[in-house]
């Protein structure tokens, strides 16, 4: 393998680590293994810290493919808690409101989900990296400042119920969607459409394009495998 010239690595991101953290760890491991001081490393789509799953990492000249790879369809498995919301639409922030759920049935869930298949307009979360006047939305949100975030046109190719626990009011769904889809925002919108509220309590990205979760290594597995790899060493200037 030639990480200086460019390779694509599939990592299963752990809980509570950012995609940036993953790239930083991969960069450190490779620089240490190769005996170099710097290396271009980037990822093809951010995962929230409280999400796990597929992160596609590019090194060297393969970082030029990032924009192209970001366009790939993504698949997620998400667990929603119905009847309550949080400001971040996930477990990053505590519950701020609760809502009735007695009226929610499996048939209502099935009917509501049909509204979210195909092209939909979605307003990204305030706690997100969406840029507004040159700043990230979360920078405003963390200061308690209100900003207007414009809706985006997205495509939900597939949306299905995997499990619905009526006693706990927890809904597990599989989502296949286009670039830029916020599953946290989808949870919010599904909750509202159910005449209640909802937030994410678990999220795993199971596929990016043709790359599936089973194709990925954990960071620990990547670190253990590095010394066993046949790594080509060439002029580090190839990475400039």
Query: What does the pLDDT read at residue 117?
Result: 97
Q: Outline where the chain has alpha helix (H).
A: 19-34, 66-69, 106-113, 137-142, 183-193, 219-225
Structure confidence by residue, pLDDT tens digits, 164-193 = 999 999 999 999 999 999 999 999 999 999
Structure confidence by residue, pLDDT tens digits, 68-77 = 999 999 999 9
Quote the CA–CA distance of 120 and 147 in Å, as a whole number.
Answer: 22
Quote the CA–CA distance of 70 and 156 in Å, as a whole number.
Answer: 16
Give residue 131's Cα distance to chain centre: 17
Query: What does the pLDDT read at residue 138?
Result: 60
Query: What does the pLDDT read at residue 234?
Result: 61
169 neighbors 162 (Cβ within 8 angstroms) = no
Query: What does the pLDDT read at residue 133?
Result: 61
209 neighbors 68 (Cβ within 8 angstroms) = no
Quote the CA–CA distance of 64 and 31 in Å, as a whole number.
Answer: 19
Quote the CA–CA distance of 113 and 171 in Å, as a whole number.
Answer: 11
The catalytic position among 21, 48, 165, 235 is 48
The list of the chain residues with pLDDT below 70 reads: 127-145, 233-240
Asked about 21 being catalytic, the answer comes back as no
Query: What does the pLDDT read at residue 124?
Result: 86
């Amino acid at each position: 393998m030639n990480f200086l010239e460019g390779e694509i690595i599939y990592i299963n991101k752990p809980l509570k680590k950012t995609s940036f953290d993953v790239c930083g760890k991969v960069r450190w491991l490779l620089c240490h293994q190769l005996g170099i001081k710097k290396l271009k490393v980037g990822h093809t789509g951010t995962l929230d810290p409280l999400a796990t799953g597929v992160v596609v990492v590019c090194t060297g000249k393969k970082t030029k493919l990032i924009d192209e790879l970001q366009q790939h369809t993504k698949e997620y498995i998400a667990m929603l808690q119905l009847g309550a919301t949080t400001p971040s639409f996930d477990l990053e922030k505590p519950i701020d409101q609760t809502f009735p759920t007695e009226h929610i049935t499996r048939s209502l869930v099935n009917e509501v989900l049909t509204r979210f298949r195909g092209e939909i307009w979605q307003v990204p979360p305030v706690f997100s990296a969406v840029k507004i006047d040159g700043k990230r939305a979360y920078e405003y949100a963390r200061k308690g400042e209100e900003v207007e975030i414009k809706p985006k046109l997205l495509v939900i190719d597939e949306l299905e119920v995997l499990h619905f626990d009526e006693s706990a009011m927890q809904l597990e769904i599989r989502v296949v969607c286009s670039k830029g889809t916020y599953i946290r925002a989808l949870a919010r919108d599904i909750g509202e459409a159910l005449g209640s509220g909802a937030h994410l309590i678990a999220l795993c990205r199971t596929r990016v394009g043709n790359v599936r979760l089973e194709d990925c290594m954990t960071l620990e597995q990547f670190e253990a495998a590095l010394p066993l790899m046949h790594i080509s060493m060439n002029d580090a200037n190839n990475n400039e």
